[in-house]
């Protein structure tokens, strides 16, 4: 069967990256950053520079490795690291997927305030997990077609805010919002790193799905860089504008920040509500992209023997259908835990973002080391490769520094539980084989 018609071209791959980043990242940013203040503009510039270095790591890896996904690169550094990093990458992104749905539903509170109740929120999230999982079984081509339309509509609201929002921008208000957290300047800048890094988690989305891209050696690097730059520019300009349009208190109280800006720019509450609906749909549909990316990464790990073989199975669309079902069960368990803790939208989003970001730093870090190791082993030392890998490593380590003690302990607990489950599953499989 010819599967090329189900693969992505350059435009499709670029939208795949944009959907991975913009769909979930940008709409939740203003509210999260408002708790610190407009000083996070400095955080944004630093994180964008670091994330761009990480993007270049995957671009270079695409030219040097047959499989440039984070799990495969970690395995190249060391098989043991590949096993553990693959585990961290897959399951950190499953937690992140839950936060994507929560962020999208935050925009629907405009219409359904009861979504802020933990039980209602949990039931809706679990329902969406399974609906979107079955949609993902149709493959990357179908998903990109759906998501491209919704993300284009989302970006329209962001672009309108980034362009016309300046007409309502108040410099004195921006200065008033500068550091509402009252933290020391350096700590305030660092405190925004986790949520900002979450906004850029996804730069490796096409690399994870290189098997689903036509002519990946050419299309993956171009799509990755173009997609990143488009989203980065929109991120920085649009969030900066909003911080000069409203007080930090108003932004913190409104999950649908871009709907707030659209209503203000056009003086129409109806357009604000319409924008909220469009952005919610776009954010929720970006879950489709990430669901597919995670199962593709899991397949890579399973093919190396690092995850259960159930992840290696693919259907006629080259999608890990059984892995998707396993992941849906795990995401359902994550949301049930959030329901148990009584987490509303803001708390649930912050909790899932923090844990997922800190876990995903491990495979990101080893990806840069793989690039340097490749140069040493080939005898072709590239100053450029060493530089971008080193800068991305400093950036990733700084994200750990930005976490507080309680957040780090949550990550330690998650690692302990994941490794315990990992060991027991493989012990069970080994026992059955014998």
Per-residue pLDDT band at 123 (split at 50, 70, 90):
very high
Q: In a 3-state reduction of DSSP, which class is residue 213?
A: strand
**DSSP one-letter code for 4:** G
Residue with the larger pLDDT of the pair 81 and 92: 92
Q: pLDDT digit string (tens) for 190-236?
A: 887 877 887 887 777 666 666 677 887 788 888 888 888 888 898 89
Four-CA torsion 362, 368, 370, 374, nearest 10 degrees: 180
Q: Rounded to whole angstroms, how far apart are CA atoms 330 and 95?
A: 9
- How far does CA 102 lie from the centroid of its chain? 13
Q: Nearest to residue 65, comparing CAs of 89, 82, 51, 84? A: 82
Cα–Cα distance, 90 to 173 (Å, whole number) = 41
Neighbours of 250 (CB within 10 A): 14
| Residue with the larger pLDDT of the pair 26 and 38 | 38
Q: How confident is the model at residue 68, as a pLDDT?
A: 83
What's the pTM value of the predicted model, to 2 decimals?
0.81
Between CA 90 and CA 414 the distance in angstroms is 13
């Amino acid at each position: 069967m010819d599967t090329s018609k189900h693969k992505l071209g350059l435009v499709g791959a670029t939208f795949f990256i944009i959907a991975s980043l913009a769909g979930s990242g940008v709409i939740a940013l203003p509210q999260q950053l408002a708790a610190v203040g407009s000083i996070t503009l400095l955080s944004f510039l630093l994180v964008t520079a670091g994330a761009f270095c990480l993007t270049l790591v995957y671009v270079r890896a695409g030219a040097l490795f047959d499989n440039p996904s984070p799990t495969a690169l970690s395995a190249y550094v060391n098989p043991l690291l590949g096993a553990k990093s693959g585990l961290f990458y897959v399951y950190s992104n499953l937690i992140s997927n839950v936060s994507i749905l929560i962020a999208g539903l935050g925009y629907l509170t405009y219409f359904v305030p009861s979504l802020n109740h933990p039980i209602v929120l949990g039931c809706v999230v679990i329902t969406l997990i399974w609906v979107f999982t079955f949609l993902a079984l149709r493959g990357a081509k179908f998903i990109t077609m759906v998501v491209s339309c919704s993300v284009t509509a989302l970006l329209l609201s962001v672009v309108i805010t980034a362009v016309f929002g300046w007409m309502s921008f108040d410099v004195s208000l921006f200065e008033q919002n500068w550091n509402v957290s009252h933290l020391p300047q350096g700590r305030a800048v660092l405190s925004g790193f986790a949520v900002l890094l979450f906004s850029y988690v996804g730069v490796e989305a096409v690399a994870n799905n290189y098997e689903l891209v036509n002519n990946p050696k050419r299309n993956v690097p171009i799509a990755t860089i173009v997609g990143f730059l488009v989203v980065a520019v929109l991120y920085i300009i649009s969030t900066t504008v909003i911080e000069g349009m409203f007080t930090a208190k108003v932004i913190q109280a409104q999950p649908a920040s871009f709907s707030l800006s659209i209503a203000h720019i056009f003086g129409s509450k109806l357009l604000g509500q319409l924008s909220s609906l469009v952005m919610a749909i776009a954010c929720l549909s970006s879950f489709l992209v990430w669901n597919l990316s995670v199962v593709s990464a899991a397949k890579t790990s399973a093919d190396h023997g690092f995850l259960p073989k159930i992840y290696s199975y693919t259907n006629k669309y080259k999608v890990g259908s059984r892995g998707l079902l396993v992941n849906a069960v795990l995401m359902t368990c994550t949301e049930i835990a959030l329901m148990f803790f009584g987490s509303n939208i803001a708390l649930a989003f912050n909790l899932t973002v923090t844990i997922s970001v800190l876990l995903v730093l491990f495979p990101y870090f080893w990806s840069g080391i793989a690039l340097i190791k490749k140069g040493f082993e080939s005898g072709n030392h590239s100053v450029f490769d060493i530089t971008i890998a080193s800068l991305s490593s400093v950036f990733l380590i700084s994200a750990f520094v930005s976490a507080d003690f309680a957040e780090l302990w949550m990550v330690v607990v998650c690692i302990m539980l994941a490794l315990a489950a990992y060991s027991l599953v493989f012990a069970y499989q080994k026992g059955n084989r014998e």
